[in-house]
């Protein structure tokens, strides 16, 4: 999207409501810079079953990936980023907060905001991923005008959402599915997660949501298509 007034990073939250019945699912591939030891100890920050399910159901999706995730799972990052079904946006390198407070996330160090974005794109591209789009999702969705101004020269579009799936730390897939089905309107952008660690029931919820939304006449699109209107 074109920059906002004063060179501010533009923010996209949903597609036009009058458009055809389209909906975009987005999945945040979260991994925080200090979670390496937990991954080494066997915790799973990836969710290959979810990606396989999206492929099986032929659901296009946008994955917002942290640089740290791409480094931990380079094969998966490349596989996602070379499959035309998917596109990869930037979810920062470290998944630290860009403004405080933000859900208890550690904060990016002073002056480190642009480097977070650049380093993440570098780590993602380093895996061989090619379908990388100039979109950025703030960790925790936390931002303010100052952050948008500082990020302006990076020429990304910040992508938020209008439907919160509630899949983070959820244990009941039905409740997540219900929240999505209640929230989706034409042009909606849904935020979910691609990490078993913090979102263990997401694949089950998606398996319920997709056939139901299709039954209601919705078509799934990537964020780029939603943005193109
Ligand atoms: Zn996140």
Asked if residue 123 has pLDDT above 80, the reply is yes
Å from CA of 84 to ligand 1 middle? 23
Å from CA of 103 to ligand 1 middle? 11
pLDDT at residue 34 in the model: 93
**First vs last Cα of the chain: how many Å apart?**
12
Å from CA of 209 to ligand 1 middle? 21
Instruction: Place 68 in a pLDDT band, splitting at 50, 70 and 90.
Output: very high
| The model's pTM | 0.97
Asked if residue 18 has pLDDT above 80, the reply is no
pLDDT at residue 112 in the model: 95
Residue-wise pLDDT for 209-219, tens only, equals 999 999 999 99
- Sorted by sequence, the CB contacts under 8 Å of residue 66 that are 6+ apart come out as 29, 30, 31, 32, 91, 92, 93, 94, 95, 120, 139
Query: For helices 74-81 and 48-56, what crossing angle results, to 10°?
Result: 20
Residue ranges of domains in the chain: 5-228
Given a contact cutoff of 8 angstroms between Cβ atoms, the answer to whether 225 and 30 are in contact is no
pLDDT at residue 110 in the model: 87
User: Average pLDDT of 30-40?
Assistant: 95
Å from CA of 183 to ligand 1 middle? 20
Instruction: Place 58 in a pLDDT band, splitting at 50, 70 and 90.
Output: very high
With 0-12 / 13-18 / 19 or more C-beta atoms within 10 angstroms meaning exposed / middle / buried, residue 46 is buried
Given a contact cutoff of 8 angstroms between Cβ atoms, the answer to whether 39 and 72 are in contact is yes
Q: Which CATH superfamily is domain 5-228 in?
A: Glycoside hydrolase/deacetylase (3.20.20.370)
User: Average pLDDT of 21-34?
Assistant: 96
User: Average pLDDT of 107-123?
Assistant: 96
Å from CA of 39 to ligand 1 middle? 16
Residue-wise pLDDT for 148-195, tens only, equals 999 999 999 999 999 999 999 999 999 999 999 999 999 999 999 999
User: Percent of the chain at pLDDT above 90?
Assistant: 94
Å from CA of 207 to ligand 1 middle? 22
Residue 25's beta-bridge partner residues? 190
Residue-wise pLDDT for 71-88, tens only, equals 999 999 999 999 999 999
Å from CA of 208 to ligand 1 middle? 23
User: Percent of the chain at pLDDT above 70?
Assistant: 100
């Amino acid at each position: 999207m074109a920059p906002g007034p004063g060179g501010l990073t533009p923010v996209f939250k949903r597609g036009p409501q009058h458009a055809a019945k389209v909906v975009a699912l987005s999945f945040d591939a979260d991994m925080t810079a200090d979670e390496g030891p937990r991954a080494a100890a066997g915790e799973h920050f990836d969710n290959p079953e979810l990606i396989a399910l999206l492929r099986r159901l032929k659901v296009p999706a946008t994955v917002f990936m942290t640089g740290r995730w791409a480094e931990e799972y380079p094969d998966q990052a490349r596989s996602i980023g070379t499959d035309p079904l998917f596109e990869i946006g930037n979810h920062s390198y470290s998944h630290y907060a860009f403004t405080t407070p933000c859900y208890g996330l550690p904060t990016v160090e002073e002056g480190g905001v642009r480097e977070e974005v650049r380093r993440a794109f570098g780590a993602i591209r380093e895996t061989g991923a090619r379908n990388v789009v100039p979109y950025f999702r703030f960790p925790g969705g936390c931002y303010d005008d100052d952050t948008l101004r500082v990020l302006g020269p990076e020429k990304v579009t910040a992508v938020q959402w209008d439907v919160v799936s509630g899949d983070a730390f959820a244990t009941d897939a039905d409740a997540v599915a219900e929240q999505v089905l209640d929230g989706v309107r034409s042009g909606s952008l849904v935020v979910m997660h691609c990490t078993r660690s913090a979102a263990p029931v997401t694949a089950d919820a998606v398996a319920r949501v997709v056939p139901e939304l299709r039954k209601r006449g919705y078509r799934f699109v990537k964020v780029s298509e939603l943005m193109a209107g």
